């Protein structure tokens, strides 16, 4: 499974965001009689208004959120767990990293002890966060059901269909998607690429494979699994056809690419819709959403955990359960697009019937719940969170003309071997 980068990452990397009644001392110690809960996350998970609501209904609780970059967040959590101190009361963990932290499941609170029912979430989602001893160490926050976001206006200018069903018919598979990109480039407005980056195309393709980087038993199979090389080759083929805008994902240039209309399509897990809206609010109505080539898949999805280092385990667990409860998960999807991981919500009229004015009134509830229902869960290994970025870097080297495809692939295999060598 590809690593998931932060949602709506503000490259600013906020070190401390105190919410509701913040004061100059809010990032320091709690006031007398106040319980301060620190939530450590790697991107905007959509919780700010929920913190306000929770504090109002729980007098004496003060919530402080720290946002750090994706890589730094997970590295910090690893270091703090090994060092015995320094974690937050709640720590978000990306799905690509959950297997790595499951090895240390005993250092996390078991949510079953606080009344959590694993059956509340998609079975594969709960399984990702269940340790060998049966400990439920994480609560599913969201899943990254895949679709394809596209610019209707740029499609029209290039003479392509704009209605989402007709657009989806252009690319039943990834080879067709690349072929459509060549057609687009032949008549596209000057300076507009087909997609944002080759690494994101790779992420979407490998997210559909039955087996990704690791097979059950935790054997890394990047060099042996044909699906990985096939995804790499497809992404590189599109890059060499001149279809990439060559924008590193979540960079300032990538953010500006949304604003400038630098690319016409982007592989779009549910959480990406909020990223687009935050980066380019002026493009409302110009975007739409169609089915992804291959029909379904998953990219990302996060969990909330409570490390045992927390001095307020009970209160932290209660807050995590509130933030991931169906009512709140439904609200987050309807307001910010993050797809819930509770299966029951996929038949909830409020979720299923939701449409997005920003995306030309696309039926996002139907599109993303269908993608999530149809996806085949991919086994996650402890090293998957490290492997994905290494392959992405290899594709970027081809994208930027620094290596030929065969050179990049050889270096990828070498880098993966070094990163996974016990």
Determine the number of helices (DSSP H) and then strands (DSSP E) in the chain: 17, 12
**What pLDDT was estimated at residue 259?**
95
Strand pairing of 193-195 and 263-269? Answer: parallel
**What pLDDT was estimated at residue 88?**
98
- Residue 206 and residue 232: Cα distance in Å, rounded? 8
Residue partners of 200: CB distance under 8 A and separation at least 6: 249, 266, 267
Residue indicated by tokens 């209904």: 57
Residue indicated by tokens 């009361």: 89
Strand pairing of 139-140 and 193-195? Answer: unpaired
**What pLDDT was estimated at residue 12?**
36
Domain ranges (residues) in the chain: 17-143+300-352, 146-298+363-420
45 neighbors 1 (Cβ within 8 angstroms): no
**What pLDDT was estimated at residue 29?**
58
- Residue 25 and residue 378: Cα distance in Å, rounded? 44
- Residue 102 and residue 130: Cα distance in Å, rounded? 7
DSSP 223-248: TT-HHHHHHHHHHHHHHHTT-B----
Residue partners of 230: CB distance under 8 A and separation at least 6: 205
**What pLDDT was estimated at residue 5?**
42
324 neighbors 116 (Cβ within 8 angstroms): no
- Residue 289 and residue 273: Cα distance in Å, rounded? 9
The top-level CATH class assigned to 146-298+363-420 is alpha beta
Across-strand partners of 41? 67
Token pair listed for 273: 């819709």
Residue partners of 342: CB distance under 8 A and separation at least 6: 120, 121, 122, 140, 326, 329
Question: Could you give the 3-state DSSP secondary structure of residue 136?
Answer: strand
**What pLDDT was estimated at residue 250?**
84
Reported pTM = 0.88
Domains 17-143+300-352 and 146-298+363-420 share a fold: yes
Return per-residue pLDDT of the chain as tens, 422 residues: 333 444 434 433 344 444 433 333 335 456 778 999 999 999 888 899 999 999 999 999 999 999 998 889 999 999 999 999 999 999 999 998 999 999 999 999 999 999 999 999 999 899 999 998 999 999 999 998 899 999 999 999 999 999 999 999 999 999 999 999 999 999 999 999 999 999 999 999 998 999 999 999 999 999 999 999 999 999 999 999 999 999 988 889 999 999 999 999 999 999 999 999 999 999 999 999 999 999 888 888 999 999 999 999 999 999 999 999 999 999 999 999 999 999 889 999 999 999 999 999 999 999 999 888 877 788 889 999 889 999 999 999 999 999 999 999 999 999 999 999 87
Domain 17-143+300-352 matching CATH 3.20.20.70: the answer reads no
- Residue 175 and residue 192: Cα distance in Å, rounded? 20
**Helices 48-57 & 313-323 angle (0-180, nearest 10):** 120
54 neighbors 319 (Cβ within 8 angstroms): yes
**What pLDDT was estimated at residue 165?**
96
**What pLDDT was estimated at residue 20?**
39
């Amino acid at each position: 499974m590809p690593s998931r980068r932060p949602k709506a990452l503000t490259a600013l990397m906020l070190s401390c965001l105190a919410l509701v009644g913040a004061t100059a001392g809010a990032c320091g110690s709690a006031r007398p009689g106040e319980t301060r809960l620190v939530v450590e996350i790697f991107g905007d998970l959509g919780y700010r208004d929920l913190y306000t609501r929770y504090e109002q209904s729980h007098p004496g609780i003060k919530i402080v959120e720290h946002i750090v970059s994706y890589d730094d967040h997970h590295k910090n959590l690893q270091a703090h767990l090994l060092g015995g101190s320094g974690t937050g009361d709640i720590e978000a963990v990306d799905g690509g990293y959950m297997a790595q932290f499951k090895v240390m499941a005993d250092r996390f609170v078991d949510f079953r002890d606080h009344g959590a029912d694993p059956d509340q979430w998609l079975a594969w989602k709960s399984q990702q966060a269940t340790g060998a001893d049966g400990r439920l160490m994480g609560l599913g926050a969201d899943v990254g059901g895949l679709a394809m976001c596209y610019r209707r206006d740029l499609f029209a200018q290039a003479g392509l269909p704009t209605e989402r069903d007709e657009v989806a018919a252009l690319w039943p598979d990834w080879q067709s998607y690349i072929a459509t990109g060549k057609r687009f480039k032949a008549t596209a407005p000057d300076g507009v690429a087909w997609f944002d980056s080759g690494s994101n195309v790779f992420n979407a393709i490998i997210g559909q494979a039955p087996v990704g980087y690791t097979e059950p038993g935790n054997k890394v199979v990047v060099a042996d699994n044909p699906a990985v090389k096939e995804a790499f080759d497809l992404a590189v083929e599109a890059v060499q056809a001149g279809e990439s805008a060559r924008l590193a994902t979540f960079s300032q240039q990538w953010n500006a690419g949304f604003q400038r209309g630098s690319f016409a399509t982007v592989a779009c897990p549910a959480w990406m819709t909020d990223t687009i809206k935050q980066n380019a609010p002026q493009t409302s109505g110009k975007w739409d959403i169609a089915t992804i080539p291959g029909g379904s898949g998953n990219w990302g999805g996060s969990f909330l955990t409570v490390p045992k280092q927390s001095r307020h385990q009970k209160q932290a667990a209660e807050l995590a359960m509130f933030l991931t409860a169906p009512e709140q998960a439904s609200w987050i999807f309807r307001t910010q697009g993050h797809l819930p991981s509770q299966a029951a919500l996929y038949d909830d009229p409020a979720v299923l019937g939701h449409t997005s004015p920003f995306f030309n009134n696309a039926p996002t509830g139907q599109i993303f719940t269908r993608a999530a229902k149809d996806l085949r869960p991919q086994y996650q290994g402890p090293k998957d969170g490290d492997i994905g970025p290494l392959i992405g870097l290899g594709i970027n080297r081809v994208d930027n003309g620094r290596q030929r495809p065969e050179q990049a692939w050889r270096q990828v295999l070498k880098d993966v071997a070094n990163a996974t060598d016990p």
